Amino acid sequence: GENVEQHPSTLSVQEGDSAVIKCTYSDSASNYFPWYKQELGKRPQLIIDIRSNVGEKKDQRIAVTLNKTAKHFSLHITETQPEDSAVYFCAARAGGTSYGKLTFGQGTILTVHP
Amino acid sequence: DGGITQSPKYLFRKEGQNVTLSCEQNLNHDAMYWYRQDPGQGLRLIYYSQIVNDFQKGDIAEGYSVSREKKESFPLTVTSAQKNPTAFYLCASSQDLREKLFFGSGTQLSVL
């Protein structure tokens, strides 16, 4: 089945700096890659997603890039703010016989220091 | 943040007991999911359902059971066969298996 590896597990940055979180996946048939943000004690919420026919997607300070050949995708947050502090999860949706299964990475704890 | 309601927020299980976690959605979504969240391990898929009266095992289905008798409801039973049930359980739904997931607020299950 699909395996998603996420790095780093923790990331600490100063306010205004950029943050990058990277994920790799194993199933070349995977075709959908969302990123979720989970604040302490709250539910995960989708912040951005990308499908396999697109190489990059931006939404204000957040961007995601996808390299299908290398089977990795990354989340980029620019001009970080303290309210960006949260746990971020990447995920990959399988194709083929496991169609529909969304496999998550282990999560990255992002801390933005004022 | 409405749309998916999980209850109860906290649940305690005695040894040998089965407990059922409730998940209800009013988004008219076809697909529903159950994930387990443990510290440092991300979210792991327990079961998912594409449509009423159909469901598939996820990656860690052993010790759990589900039913999907109504489109809006997808209860999860944690059976006594699940030896390490303490975790945060998240229910989610999506329009179909291709679309983005919306999560409920979760149930924290602990063992007495």
Report pLDDT digits (tens) over A65-112. Answer: 999 999 999 999 999 999 999 999 999 998 766 677 899 999 999 999
| CA A52 to each of CA A47, A65, A95, A103, B96: distance values in angstroms, whole numbers, following the listed order | 17, 10, 11, 16, 18
- Residue B58 to residue A32, Cβ atoms within 8 A: no
Judging contacts by C-beta atoms under 8 Å, the chain B residues touching residue A91 are 43
Percent of chain B with pLDDT over 70: 98
Q: Which of B40, B48, B90 sits opposite A101 (nearest CB)?
A: B48
Chain B positions with Cβ closer than 8 Å to A: 1, 31, 33, 35, 40-45, 48, 50, 56, 58-59, 90, 97-98, 100-106
Mean pLDDT, rounded, of chain B: 93
Please say whether the beta carbons of A53 and A32 come within 8 A.
no
Residues in Cβ contact with A89 at an 8 Å cutoff, skipping those fewer than 6 apart: A6, A35, A36, A37, A38, A44, A104, A105, A107, A108, B42, B43
Identify the closest residue of chain B to A34 by CA–CA distance.
B100
Judging contacts by C-beta atoms under 8 Å, the chain A residues touching residue B103 are 36, 43-45
**pLDDT tens, A22-81?**
999 999 989 999 999 999 888 999 999 999 888 999 999 999 999 999 999 999 999 999
